[in-house]
Structure 1
Amino acid sequence: MTTDYAERFPESRNGDTHRPYQAASDRYESGAFRQVGTSGLWLPAISLGLWWNFGDNVPFQNQRTVLRHAFDRGITHFDLANNYGPPFGTAETNFGRMMREDFAPYRDELIISSKAGYDMWPGPYGNNGSRKYLIASAEQSLKRMSVDYVDIFYSHRADPVTPIEETVGALDTLVRQGKALYVGISSYSAERTAEAVAVAESLGTPLIIHQPSYSILNRWIEEGLTDALKTAGMGAIAFTPLAQGLLTDKYLGDGTGDRSQSRFSLPDGTLSEKALTTLRSLNDIANERGQTLAQMAIQWILRDEVVASALIGASSTAQLDQNLAATEGAPFDADELARIDELSGAIDVNLWAESSDA
């Protein structure tokens, strides 16, 4: 396989910086895959999102090391969007290089997703949920990623102006054109999800997956969306399960954290004493369980079977391995869940509430 691959892609021969990749033979031994709703699609319990650490802000060789390691550890799902970077589009472009040079022989083992819905290019056709935008963006994403199709394509957020029939109709078209195998939505409310599901069913192309923000500190999906997904036979893949780093050890000191790679700003820049006390109390529960706070937070969102996968970011193989260990934790008991519930409302981190339907 390696010889054939090198012959097909001679550009992969670039001296000491890159050797032809051959995936680990034991990459499926963990067996930690979960069904997406009632569909035939299964996702790894932990998926890798390429939102921030895979643009031109990070050396490509670092990205390659993390992506190879992820696949070697059984992460088969890589989640992207048209505007991931920075700058916009570069995460898909860099992943496209990975596809050509490393992952091409394994395409049928990969789940690759992309999205459109946020601002991407100037003018009225590069934003929101129109048919014009979604289909054009999907075409661009395929070219950047050097693939003929994506496994999942999402409407990245609800559009309050464009009719839901138009948005979902565009997703249906992408499936019928063979440019997406499955389609889904992201950050739609329970009510808007039900509307989208009804339109999709009428077209004969079901929505199988919803990508909401969800964490111990951001539980909006429990107010109707979880039930709506179960009723529709849809699964969820939760983004920001670590609440943008709050549910790690970054903020357990003075509350300022490491802002060198900041992707957002906390409302006050520094966490309140109440918020810090909450994070430290959650960390105490994690320590009692023999986990880091991040591991507990990831395992917590996977406690509900409607959540097929936790979508994490990673800037190093060590960080990736630490988060993957979340699937090895003991089941939560009723007392632990009750204590977590008591602590969960102290910090508001639903940063997408105003820019989406959530």
Structure 2
Amino acid sequence: MYQAAAHRYATMPYNRVGDSGLKLSAIGLGLWNNFGSVDALANQRAMLHQAFDLGITYFDLANNYGPAPGSAERNFGRIMAQDFRPYRDEMVIASKAGYVMWPGPYGNWGSRKSIIASANQSLARTGLEYFDIFYSHRPDPHTAVEETALALDQLVRQGKTLYVGISNYSGAQTAAITAIFKDLRTPFIIHQPRYNMFNRDVETDLFPVLKREHKAAVGFSSLSQGLLTDKYRYGIPVTSRAHKQTIPFLNSTQVEQTLATVQKLTAVATKRGQSLAQMALAWNLRVPEVASVLIGASRPEQIVANVQALNHPDFTTAELTTIDKILAQQGPIAWGAH
């Protein structure tokens, strides 16, 4: 029987989510990859144990995570029931609805029908009584934002989630739905955007809205699908996802576009005594509106290494200036959706 490390809260920072009472671990574990039906359950269990033992309390799911879609929630629920049930009140568990999940017109987007049905299915797969945060995974261009907001509000009132969030919404879309949540008095607290050194648009579009509305962000794709690690520093390994192009979010062209930039950033990280991945995570957390950054992992050792990003001093002005100059030389990179 799993017993959590007694020292798990000794070093992890916990950041307040906007003006809410909730705090998140500065690093959260995303279950987008490596927690599906095609992945070894024993390794999934080892990664979840390692994360919690290091003070990670935020665990991020979505209805379609896998593969197969739904299997990440199902596997998490199985491990939760066997190992983490005594620690449920120490965990912040989130899920989402909004990307295609089942056939037909109701298994996608942000209608009340789709949001409510998807939340019910996610609760059934995980075996949980409630989520701590439930997100609208993306804005629906064909559904009034009021309908999506009312669906999320209903989940709170039904006791199926404590807080609600949104993901992949622009600054203007965030401002619009925030106004509705204010009128409803819905505990809307957080936005989950793609944010990393190669994806900075949110700094001028979204973050000013979050600051004004006293909301927080939790960033996904924190290491730019592995581009901001040592994996591609010298090219494209034949075992990598970029070489195999097994997912539409990373390919060899993107690696080649960023290779020179990655090498320059690595030099900055080395001077700081960090790996590039550790520096990239710390860089994301320099923004006051960012309460937590999500990491992915394929083995427990990666989680240990990433958490060490928190063990280095704050950036100096000179370091930030150097990083900005390096990134300014990088051209745009095309990305798919999360």
* TM more than 0.5: yes
Query: Which residues of 2 match residues 150-229 of structure 1 at below 5 A?
Result: 150-229=131-210
Aligned-residue Cα RMSD (Å) equals 1.6
Post-superposition offset of 1:261: 8.1
Q: Is the 8 A contact 2:12 2:56 kept in 1?
A: no
Post-superposition offset of 1:150: 0.1
Deviations 1:298-335 (A, max 9, x none): 00000011100010101111110000000111110111
> Is 2:90 the counterpart of 1:109?
yes
Partners of 2:109 and 2:165 lie apart in 1 by: 15
The DSSP-based 3-state class of the residue aligned with 1:271 is helix
Higher alpha-carbon Rg: 1
Partners of 1:85 and 1:242 lie apart in 2 by: 20
Corresponding residue for residue 12 of structure 1: none
Consecutive unaligned residues in structure 1, runs of 5 or more: 1-19
Deviations 1:112-158 (A, max 9, x none): 00000000001110001000000000000001001000000000001
Give 1:281's match in structure 2, choosing from 264, 279, 285. 264
Post-superposition offset of 1:166: 0.1
Give 2:248's match in structure 1, choosing from 254, 264, 267. 264
- TM-score, normalised via structure 1 length: 0.90
Post-superposition offset of 1:176: 0.4
Q: 1:266 to 1:62 in 2, by over 3 A?
A: closer
Corresponding residue for residue 319 of structure 1: 302
Corresponding residue for residue 295 of structure 1: 278
Partners of 2:173 and 2:132 lie apart in 1 by: 23
Partners of 1:269 and 1:189 lie apart in 2 by: 27
Instruction: Name the aligned partner's letter for residue 53 of structure 2.
Output: D
Partners of 2:200 and 2:183 lie apart in 1 by: 31
Consecutive unaligned residues in structure 2, runs of 5 or more: none
Instruction: Name the aligned partner's letter for residue 37 of structure 1.
Output: G
Post-superposition offset of 1:348: 3.4
Q: Is the 8 A contact 1:282 1:293 kept in 2?
A: yes
Corresponding residue for residue 348 of structure 1: 332
Q: 1:107 to 1:271 in 2, by over 3 A?
A: closer
Q: 1:350 to 1:204 in 2, by over 3 A?
A: farther
Q: Is the 8 A contact 1:197 1:206 kept in 2?
A: no
Post-superposition offset of 1:262: 4.3
Instruction: Name the aligned partner's letter for residue 289 of structure 2.
Output: V
The DSSP-based 3-state class of the residue aligned with 1:151 is strand
Q: 1:283 to 1:198 in 2, by over 3 A?
A: same
Q: 1:39 to 1:153 in 2, by over 3 A?
A: same
Partners of 2:16 and 2:93 lie apart in 1 by: 16
Q: 1:91 to 1:347 in 2, by over 3 A?
A: farther
Partners of 1:334 and 1:31 lie apart in 2 by: 25
Partners of 1:112 and 1:268 lie apart in 2 by: 34
> Is 2:234 the counterpart of 1:253?
yes
Post-superposition offset of 1:269: 3.6
Q: Is the 8 A contact 2:50 2:304 kept in 1?
A: no
Instruction: Name the aligned partner's letter for residue 292 of structure 1.
Output: S
Give 2:318's match in structure 1, choosing from 335, 340, 351. 335
Give 1:123's match in structure 2, choosing from 84, 94, 104. 104
Report sequence identity in percent. Answer: 52
- TM-score, normalised via structure 2 length: 0.95
Count how many residue pairs are aligned between Structure 1 and Structure 2.
334
Partners of 2:246 and 2:333 lie apart in 1 by: 15
Q: Is the 8 A contact 2:223 2:280 kept in 1?
A: yes
Partners of 2:135 and 2:254 lie apart in 1 by: 34
Q: Is the 8 A contact 2:190 2:216 kept in 1?
A: yes
The DSSP-based 3-state class of the residue aligned with 1:121 is coil
Q: Is the 8 A contact 2:249 2:335 kept in 1?
A: no
